[in-house]
A and B are shown apart, each in its own frame.
Chain A
């Protein structure tokens, strides 16, 4: 089996396996192992992972801590487990993406390669659009943007991306249907 495909299989197996681990210490050790595997890129990948999960995990953790407080039970072990697991999965994914050529890993299946190409082109086009939204806000602000303007700009961008994603998904589905993708 070629390297990229083998790593894909290992990655998928690790995703399933880590959901079966309920010991925070084991997860922490696993996380340490990932950082060692990442080598020199460990700080960059860890920073990126923390940024990605920060808002979502903070919201979930605070909500759970509040619920635990109101119902009178200790939330700490669950919160530790949850946050370690999410961080592990995110870091693992970033590490996987940085080391594996997905196109090569999926080249055994024309269908999967096709879907990956669609997703990848979408991601690139959204990345460019996201950069434009950020620069457009900067270009219209004579001062550092206020928090309310940033919220509004983020909300407008989110609405645009959602709208565009739905339209593109609809077009992609029609294009796939036209090319016989759903006929098999």
Chain B
């Protein structure tokens, strides 16, 4: 469904992604892991057809995709409906005057007959039914995240790209999101640097190293038990632990979101 071949990207001469090769099949739930600045968000933006990679090729259902090719109206319309990206900062995605209009934005572009029902359905799923007339700007961080997700799901995308979706959520909402995503019948790529969440978000891990290369593509569990590779990806750290009078040091993970 998604195929990246030799993808490289640079920002102002600095490498963000180096020689990325990967393929994602329909219905797969993939976790994209990496330390801050490893290129996770850039990779999602390339997959969403928002930025043109400096090198390599990206194909969606066999069709080459980049912003230039998406100037083709028919391709753009199909691709944007089928591939949706939840930005790390949900504020970037919310610009309509009410929560209702925000969720209705996609369905209205498609001139769907059941806009009202779709909006109420997704507002209900996300627990936003009593917020429909509110200004999105005034919602809490977690509510904005849910609203942005509802706005994307209202057009029933086939591929959902989530950039650190739990970063602004409280523990209860994070638990809800994990359950919700597990049941969602879409191809899912979720970025995170939170290792305790990662196995809950997908069984296949893509890991970007600090050199911006893909250092692992496969089942997540073996990777999580491989300390050397975790260290290479800057996903574990060590510091002194104090247990009463005993002090020792070892590699471990903190959930620092």
Q: Which residues of A come within 8 Å of B, CB atoms?
A: 129, 132-133, 135-144, 149, 152-153, 155-157, 159-160
Q: Is the interface of A mostly helix, strand, loop or mixed?
A: helix
Residues 149-178 of chain B, each 1 if its beta carbon lies under 8 Å from chain A, else 0 = 001100100000000000000000000000
Chain A residues positioned under 8 Å from B95 (CB to CB): 137, 149, 152-153, 155-157
Chain B residues positioned under 8 Å from A136 (CB to CB): 85, 87, 92-93
Chain B residues positioned under 8 Å from A160 (CB to CB): 91-92, 137
User: How far is B136's CA from A152's CA once the two chains are assembled, in angstroms?
Assistant: 12
B35 interface residue per 8 A CB criterion: no
Chain A residues positioned under 8 Å from B73 (CB to CB): 143-144
Chain A CB count within 10 A is highest, among B50, B91, B152, for B91
Q: Which residues of B come within 8 Å of A, CB atoms?
A: 45, 48, 50-51, 67, 73, 76-77, 80-81, 84-85, 87-89, 91-97, 105-106, 109-110, 136-137, 151-152, 155
Contact flag A142-B77 (CB < 8 Å), given A135-B50, A152-B96: yes
Chain A residues positioned under 8 Å from B77 (CB to CB): 142-143
- Among residues of A, the one whose C-beta sits closest to the C-beta of B87 is A136
Pick the 5 closest A-B CB pairs, nearest first.
Answer: A156-B95, A136-B92, A153-B95, A132-B92, A136-B93
Among A129, A142, A149, which residue has its beta carbon within 8 angstroms of that of B80?
A142
User: How far is B164's CA from A132's CA once the two chains are assembled, in angstroms?
Assistant: 14
- Among residues of A, the one whose C-beta sits closest to the C-beta of B163 is A132
- Among residues of B, the one whose C-beta sits closest to the C-beta of A146 is B109
Chain B residues positioned under 8 Å from A129 (CB to CB): 89, 92
Contact flag A143-B92 (CB < 8 Å), given A135-B51, A136-B87, A160-B137: no
- Interchain CB contact under 8 A, A156 and B110: no
User: How far is B77's CA from A139's CA once the two chains are assembled, in angstroms?
Assistant: 11
Among B50, B76, B85, which residue has its beta carbon within 8 angstroms of that of A143?
B76
User: How far is B48's CA from A160's CA once the two chains are assembled, in angstroms?
Assistant: 24
- Interchain CB contact under 8 A, A156 and B109: no
User: How far is B45's CA from A90's CA once the two chains are assembled, in angstroms?
Assistant: 33
Contact flag A142-B50 (CB < 8 Å), given A137-B95, A156-B95, A156-B137: no
User: How far is B81's CA from A139's CA once the two chains are assembled, in angstroms?
Assistant: 9
Contact flag A140-B105 (CB < 8 Å), given A135-B51, A152-B97: yes
- Among residues of B, the one whose C-beta sits closest to the C-beta of A138 is B50
Chain A residues positioned under 8 Å from B94 (CB to CB): 156
Contact flag A132-B105 (CB < 8 Å), given A139-B48, A143-B77, A152-B96: no
Chain A residues positioned under 8 Å from B151 (CB to CB): 140
CB distance from A114 to the nearest CB of B (A): 24
- Among residues of A, the one whose C-beta sits closest to the C-beta of B73 is A143
Chain B residues positioned under 8 Å from A144 (CB to CB): 73
Chain A residues positioned under 8 Å from B110 (CB to CB): 142
User: How far is B155's CA from A157's CA once the two chains are assembled, in angstroms?
Assistant: 24
- Among residues of B, the one whose C-beta sits closest to the C-beta of A161 is B91
Contact flag A141-B109 (CB < 8 Å), given A129-B92, A153-B95, A160-B91: yes
Chain B residues positioned under 8 Å from A140 (CB to CB): 80, 93, 105-106, 151-152
User: How far is B155's CA from A1's CA once the two chains are assembled, in angstroms?
Assistant: 63
Chain A residues positioned under 8 Å from B152 (CB to CB): 140
- Interchain CB contact under 8 A, A142 and B76: yes
User: How far is B249's CA from A145's CA once the two chains are assembled, in angstroms?
Assistant: 55
CB distance from B150 to the nearest CB of A (A): 12
Contact flag A139-B109 (CB < 8 Å), given A149-B95, A160-B137: no
- Among residues of A, the one whose C-beta sits closest to the C-beta of B110 is A142
Chain A residues positioned under 8 Å from B92 (CB to CB): 129, 132-133, 135-136, 157, 160
CB distance from B254 to the nearest CB of A (A): 24
